[in-house]
Amino acid sequence: MHQIQEKILELAKTKDVLTLGIRPLGREIGVDQPQLVKHHLFQLQKKGLIKAKSRSDIQQLLQHSSSLQPSFVQIPVVGAANCGPATLIADEHIEQYITVSESFLKKKDNVFALIAKGDSMNKAQINGNSIEENDYVVVDGNSRTPNSGDYILSVIDNCANIKKYARTKDGNIALLSESTSSHPPIYIGENDQFIVNGKVIQVIKGANV
């Protein structure tokens, strides 16, 4: 559990954190970023660890937080994808949602997330973040025509995979790793069942959700 959530739960033993107000709550737990406080308070509600006593409590919470920007959006998590050999079967059933600040995403239409498995992309940089085991990789599902150098989610023979997209000198597709370990490129042949499912646009570190 995130440290901010632990502080909120500890304070909830003595105070009604839902009616306290976002900024006063932040002062109580020593966090001066209201957006973070709001995010983690909603995460605790979502987990069922903090519950509003009445509808008026919910309305009061919303009134306290209505002036705070940005607002939050939910991203569906549709399974996992390999950052290594393409061995995890692709599956698009929604397993959960993660809540992020609206300002975190420039694009929101047809955006989803997957949980990264493996270490083959742990040196990749997506807006300053690497892709490590159990990170949430956010994908733009509408961006299916990648340029060389883009990080993509692809499906190879029905298995989900996250790699760097490249073109070889002879015009074929190569999927590259960027890792502290050695991982050979994946070359896509004419007979391979290969689909680009979207472009990686953000990474959310797993410990921060």
The tens digit of pLDDT for each residue in 116-135 reads 999 999 999 998 889 999 99
pLDDT higher than threshold 50 for residue 69 = no
Q: What percent of the chain has pLDDT over 70?
A: 89
Q: Are 2 and 208 in contact (CB under 8 A)?
A: yes
Q: What is the dihedral of CA 120, 155, 147, 135, to 10 degrees?
A: -40
Threshold 0.75, pTM exceeds: no
The tens digit of pLDDT for each residue in 139-188 reads 999 999 999 999 999 999 889 999 999 998 888 899 999 999 889 999 99
> Residue 123: how many CB atoms within 10 A of its CB?
14
